[in-house]
Amino acid sequence: MVEMEHKIRIVFLGSGMFAVPVLEGLRQSGELDVVHVITQPDKPAGRKNVLTPTPVGKWCDAHGIACERVASVNDPVFLSRLRGVMPDMLVVVSFGQLLKEELLSLPKLGCLNVHASLLPRYRGASPVASAVLNGEKRTGVSFMRMDKGLDTGPVYETFPLEIAPGTTAAALEQELAQAAGRRIAGCVLRIADGSLRPVPQNNAEATLSRKIRKAHGSIVWEESAEQIARKIRAFQPWPSAIFTFPHQGRNFLVKILSGQTVPFPAPAAPGRILAIAPDGITVACGTDALRIERVIPEGKKEMGAADFARGFRLEPGMEFSGGPGAAPPKTQG
């Protein structure tokens, strides 16, 4: 047990939206002192490449909280300054940089990572999207003592969460973040007083979640309707589930925001429009069919699928193609 004669001094490293409720939870505790907040540097975003802060940076700016943008937390100059802060613990959440051993060994209570899965399942960069994409019924939050591996450190505690049917990755991430924010202060205090000790992970049960890339959102109509519906929910808000169809001499991109699996035992060419109704466009898939409910056509605003069909003069029997790079364009017919 480490005897603390002062409030526990926390240095917080976070960037993504998942980190914001955790930072709030730390700051609301009267027994913890968040002495420094670090995030990734602002980056160009959007068509105009406007310099944009991370969600943590934006939240700190809005609340008048000092937040240092650091390109590399392993830089010797930064490490020297951090030693002067004398942190008792580093709390790392959705940060986006690997911490090397010199930094990991700096705080006396170690480095605590908050990870959005039940470790050792879904180690890596996209645990929430991967859980939705794989149709998991349950996930959770893990509080882990960091080591030099990728989410391989011993785990202090986990908190499971049921995944409701139809939940998107964005909604699930917010649920998990709020759960982590409610529990983070208690976890840190119990680590400090020695009542909470980490348990090594069972590496034999480990799975890895890959980094999401833009191409992963491309729809492949030959997949099952269930798999495509999961992809729609998993890849919100980015990179989105995207298909194409020939329009005005080129392949037109369409993002699907919501869709439902529809039983369809009769075989039909994957991507073929089976029906158009007020509740959506039904499209044949490798197994069953997908009813597309809401979309964002290229260059347009969000709209109902029926409005999309009417505006682009779609008819049953026409065929959609897969997303960019998923498959060669199909002809109408």
pLDDT per residue rounded down to tens, the chain (333 residues): 555 668 999 999 999 999 999 999 999 999 999 999 999 999 998 878 899 999 999 999 999 999 999 999 999 999 999 999 999 999 999 999 999 999 999 999 999 999 999 999 999 999 999 999 999 999 999 999 999 999 999 999 999 999 999 999 999 999 999 999 999 999 999 999 999 999 999 999 999 999 999 999 999 999 999 999 999 999 988 999 999 998 888 889 999 999 999 999 888 999 999 999 999 999 999 999 999 999 999 999 999 999 999 999 999 999 999 998 764 433 333
The letter for the amino acid at 44 is: P
- pLDDT given for residue 331 in this prediction: 34
Which stretches of the chain are DSSP H helices? Answer: 19-27, 55-62, 76-85, 101-104, 127-133, 169-192, 225-234, 305-311
- Rounded-to-integer distance, Cα 208 and Cα 166, Å: 23
Percent helix, strand and coil across the chain, each rounded to 5? 25, 30, 45
* 275 CB burial (10 A radius; 0-12, 13-18, 19+): middle
What residue spans in the chain does CATH classification 3.40.50.170 cover? 8-209
In the chain, ranges of CATH 3.10.25.10 domains: 214-311
Task: Please report the pLDDT score of residue 326 as a whole number.
Answer: 64
Output phi, psi for 180, to 5 deg. -65, -40
Categorise residue 239: left if φ over 0, alpha if ψ from -120 to 50, beta otherwise: alpha
Determine the pLDDT at residue 43: 95
pLDDT at 250: 85
Furthest C-alpha separation in the chain = 76
Cα angle 258-262-263, degrees, rounded to a multiple of 5: 160
Count of alpha carbons within 13 Å of 183, Cβ hemisphere only?
A: 20
Q: Are 16 and 54 in contact (CB under 8 A)?
A: yes
Helix (H, G, I), strand (E, B) or coil at 280: strand
pTM: predicted TM-score of the whole model, two decimal places: 0.92
- Per-residue model confidence (pLDDT) at position 327: 44
Pick the CATH number of 214-311 from 3.10.25.10, 1.10.10.10, 3.90.1300.10, 3.30.2130.10: 3.10.25.10
Strand partners, 142: 115, 158
Helices (H) and strands (E) in the chain, counts: 8, 17
Residues β-bridged to residue 254:
243, 297
Q: What is the pLDDT of residue 332?
A: 36
Name the DSSP class of 271: T
Question: What distance in Å separates the CA atoms of residue 23 and residue 120, rounded to the nearest whole number?
Answer: 24
Sign for the CA dihedral angle at 225, 227, 228, 233 comes to positive
What's the pLDDT score for residue 333?
32
Distance (Å, whole) CA 2 – CA 189: 11
Q: Is 59 helix (H, G, I), strand (E, B) or coil?
A: helix
Top CATH class of 8-209 equals alpha beta
